[in-house]
Amino acid sequence: MRIPVARLARGSRHSTFLPGHPIYRALQPQRWASSLSQKPGSAGVRFPGAVDSKFTNAMQFELPATYPAIPTYRALSPDGDIIDSSFTPPPDSLALSMYENMLSISIMDIIMFDAQRQGRLSFYMTSQGEEGTCVGSASALTKEDVIFCQYREAGVFAQRGYTFDDFMSQLFANKKDAGKGRNMPVHYGSSALNIHTISSPLATQIPQAAGAAYALKMQRLTDPNTPLRIVACYFGEGAASEGDFHAALNIAATRSCPVVFICRNNGYAISTPTLEQYRGDGIASRGTGYGIDTIRVDGNDILAVREVTKKAREMALQDGGRPVLIEAMSYRISHHSTSDDSFAYRAKVEVEDWKRRDNPITRLRKYLEKKDLWSDEKEAEARGRLRKECLKAFAQAEKEKKPPLRTMFEDVYEEMTPEIKAQMKQLKEVIDRYPDEYDVSEFEGGKDTLSS
Amino acid sequence: MSRLLRPASRLVSSSIARPAARNAFQSFPRVPAIVQSRGYAKESGVKEYTVRDALNEALAEELELNPKVFILGEEVAQYNGAYKVTKGLLDRFGDKRVIDTPITESGFCGLAVGAALAGLHPVCEFMTFNFAMQAIDQIVNSAAKTHYMSGGIQPCNITFRGPNGFASGVAAQHSQDYSAWYGSIPGLKVVTPWSAEDAKGLLKAAIRDPNPVCVLENELLYGQSFPMSEAAQKDDFVIPFGKAKIERAGKDLTIVTLSRCVGQSLVAAEALKKKYGVEVEVINLRSIKPLDVEAIVKSVKKTHRLLAVESGFPAFGVGAELLALTMEYAFDYLDAPAQRITGAEVPTPYALKLEQMSFPDETLIENYAKKMLRL
């Protein structure tokens, strides 16, 4: 860190990076006086690597198996009752909208999974069983907060206002797809909603989230008028095995980044069950190891997830920022993706059991019914309406024009290189010369978009 | 269902010379001879194998022959491999030799490299080589160089394998060809099988080779069937590295190619013969490190024209290397500048048609050859 800063200071026009500048100082982590030597006869350790440890004569290994498992917080019983009367539930209107968002995701999942099976799109991933984790946590974030997703967070998008049209445009890669048709299906992204585009390689988003949070922190230091923001980063328990996860937690902790890591522990990483994925107490136990405030929550309890995320957001912004880890427990009812048949490695009855016994949608429904906010009629009406809306968006997106031809050449680099410009010009000339050979009407703007 | 009726039992039908000593890791009973029958046989003893089956047989044979060999990777055991290449191996060899790993490429690759440094012969499967990027430090900086850096005292008999190159409809981050990447590293050997025989012979050779070897397979070839000669069906069949195979002899143009492009070049060569009566020689490189320069030079001396065909990105690629070598060693025999066909200089698009246009196909090769031969 030291040397690059000095170099930066020389090269940069902004004196912000000069040591001595208040922002520079604020960005430096507090350093312990590591040169303090051990006092003779002291009871505690003064090693630079462990400043708070007491000496002991009893040789005692720490045995994680003897530790009690980190408890799982919940607010709503499986029957939909608020367990602790001091718990403040969200306003009814919000509870209802969260319910509808979970419902719309689950309905879209069924429709799109079948559509993939019919060959109408190449790939799809459902999020059955994890709607609560995504919708609940997203409901506790502000619009300005920045989000990194893994790939099973359709609920986060829905809760932030991503519409059926937006989903379908991405899935069918039409002209309204923000990714310009360059990604596989379900790789959504939206700059308006502050959600980074989903990237296929696993776990890469976790250190990036720490970096983005660091950027937010710096931004706030340079301009205190910017709103307080955090980064929320989603990933599965499988991704937490990648080295990136560990690097991310450590750097987020040491640089005090305002980031909330949200682990969706759904029991399976494609075919690998959690028992083969790790031996510790879930992902939560790793957070404490990195000195990160951590909580485990029942992912099927959307109210608990919301509450926990709300609090975590607050904590992440305290004292200039720090990371928080949430481990949301749930069960992946869906197959990993349309390329997977999960009944090859788990019993169908196990899945059916989970689906019936406990799932975030039915639990919130029971809560709403008990409050007289929901009924069978309303359920039927909502399901019918959402299904219709989804299918309408589906049909429209399928018919929509493709992205402009020009997008073939754009964005490989920030600006088109002379070679790429020449290629584009050449393509235009070919189409001009042989208009009958090329039907460009299905592309937005036709051949005109190729003019430089 | 009986264990014998499971498709995996087909694997054990190979006529393996069983080692006298029982393998240290072996904990599963051998399957009896009752399953020794295989599919349809042709007169000469040539049988049809898919590339997937050939790879599977190679793995099974090497696991059987050498107790030091084991395979590990994501989903290789319980799930039979993401592409079913390791199908049935868990049932047959047990979970000490066919190992499912957590999702941590750098972790399990590092573990495999460590096992190799300690004297075992691991086969490290990557779900695809795109994901091996997470572990490339282990492959390049550790596996490839430790033998040299340790003064030759640490062996590294390891095989990295998995699908390489583009598949269909999986967009930019899943569609890359790493031949040139690994091909440029001193200390690594790199092979790129095309046919079922290539797949079996090269994978077996890779496992036996005392050096780290990358076996760059191709997902689109896994399901493709090829005739497998009687000799290749035996368990002692290996293909030596650094020897290219002339898949089709000719006198007018040399096409040097690898992996899936071999099949495409053969189709193009056939079409050229039919339409114009020209004879195109197609050389299947099989291994790109070591590279069979001699075969290329010999062929150019005969045909005086060279076209390299590959599906990697154009810049600094296998094609570039082939052209440079041709220029260095066979310039005087060339009647025309050597040319190359490569993938397009673009992150692989998701759109089906753009994806198709991003990589060489039969027609493109045919047209290019036509131009070179002024037909």
**Amino acid (one-letter) located at A410:** E
Q: Tell me what pLDDT residue A19 has.
A: 59
Q: Tell me what pLDDT residue A270 has.
A: 86
Confidence of residue A271 (pLDDT cuts 50, 70, 90): confident
Q: Is B304 a catalytic residue?
A: no
Three-state SS for B182-195 is: HHCCCCCEEECCCC
Helix/strand/coil for B307 = strand
Q: Give the pTM.
A: 0.85
Residues A214 and A361 placed together within one structural domain of the fold: yes
Helix (H) or strand (E) holding A101: helix A92-117
Mean predicted confidence (pLDDT) in B86-112: 95
Residues 6+ apart with CB under 8 A from B107: A241, A242, A243, B101
Confidence of residue A49 (pLDDT cuts 50, 70, 90): confident
In a domain, A226, yes or no: yes
Residues A76 and A194 placed together within one structural domain of the fold: yes
Mean predicted confidence (pLDDT) in B315-338: 96
> Out of A178-192, A333-347, A417-431, B137-151, which region has the weakest mean confidence (pLDDT)?
A333-347
Residue spans of alpha helices (H) in A22-91 = 22-27
Residues A315 and A278 placed together within one structural domain of the fold: yes
Residues of B in contact with A181 (CB under 8 A): 349-351
In a domain, A18, yes or no: no
In a domain, A177, yes or no: yes
Q: Tell me what pLDDT residue A6 has.
A: 40
Last residue of a domain, one of A383, A399, A415: A399
Residues A414 and A394 placed together within one structural domain of the fold: no
Residue found by looking up tokens 């993938």 in the block: B343
Mind listing the pLDDT tens digit for each residue in B17-57? 333 343 334 333 333 333 334 455 555 789 999 999 999 99
Q: Tell me what pLDDT residue B33 has.
A: 38
Mean predicted confidence (pLDDT) in B320-331: 97
Mind listing the pLDDT tens digit for each residue in A399-435? 999 999 999 999 999 999 999 999 999 999 999 999 9
CA nearest to B203, candidates B239, B247, B178, B174: B239
Helix/strand/coil for A22 = helix
Mean pLDDT of chain B: 89
Q: What distance in Å separates the CA atoms of residue B40 and residue B60, rounded to the nearest whole number?
A: 21
Residues A384 and A411 placed together within one structural domain of the fold: no
In a domain, A166, yes or no: yes
CA nearest to A297, candidates A144, A134, A148: A134
Q: How many CB atoms lie within 10 A of CB A354?
A: 18
CA nearest to A152, candidates A267, A45, A73, A64: A267
- The one-character DSSP state at A140 is T
Residues A394 and A409 placed together within one structural domain of the fold: no
Q: Under a CB-based contact definition with an 8 Å cutoff, are residues A320 and A219 in contact?
A: no
Chain A residue at shortest CA distance from B104:
A242
Q: Which of B101, B350, B356 to mutate to test the interface with A (most CBs of A within 10 A)?
A: B350
Mind listing the pLDDT tens digit for each residue in A275-329? 889 999 999 999 999 999 999 999 999 999 999 999 999 999 999 899 999 999 9
Residues A430 and A378 placed together within one structural domain of the fold: no
Q: Specify the CATH number for the domain of residue A289.
A: 3.40.50.970
Q: Which residues are bridge partners to B256 per DSSP? A: B283, B308
Residues of A in contact with B351 (CB under 8 A): 173, 181-182, 402
In a domain, A15, yes or no: no
Residues A283 and A420 placed together within one structural domain of the fold: no
Query: Which residue is catalytic, options B57, B105, B125, B281?
Result: B105
- The one-character DSSP state at B65 is H
A321: alpha, beta or left? (left if phi > 0; alpha if psi -120 to 50): left
In a domain, A41, yes or no: no
- Count of domains in chain A? 2
Q: What distance in Å separates the CA atoms of residue A231 and residue A234, rounded to the nearest whole number?
A: 10
- The full DSSP string for B27-49 is -SPPPPGGG---S---TTS-EEE
Please report the domains of chain B, with CATH numbers, ordered by start residue.
49-233 (3.40.50.970), 245-373 (3.40.50.920)
Measure Cα distances from B111 to A41, A93, A389, B120, B152 in Å. Answer: 44, 53, 50, 11, 20
Report CB contact under 8 Å: B103, A202: yes
Q: Tell me what pLDDT residue A383 has.
A: 97
Residues A256 and A390 placed together within one structural domain of the fold: yes
Residues of B in contact with A272 (CB under 8 A): 74-75, 100, 102-103
Residue found by looking up tokens 């052209």 in the block: B323
ipTM: 0.77
Residues A318 and A337 placed together within one structural domain of the fold: yes
In a domain, A144, yes or no: yes
In a domain, A30, yes or no: no
Which residues span the domain enclosing A432?
A: 405-450
Residues A335 and A423 placed together within one structural domain of the fold: no
> CA triplet B350, A335, A188: central angle to 5 degrees?
35
Mean predicted confidence (pLDDT) in B153-180: 93
Residues A394 and A410 placed together within one structural domain of the fold: no
Q: What distance in Å separates the CA atoms of residue B173 and residue A184, rounded to the nearest whole number?
A: 10
Q: Tell me what pLDDT residue A31 has.
A: 56
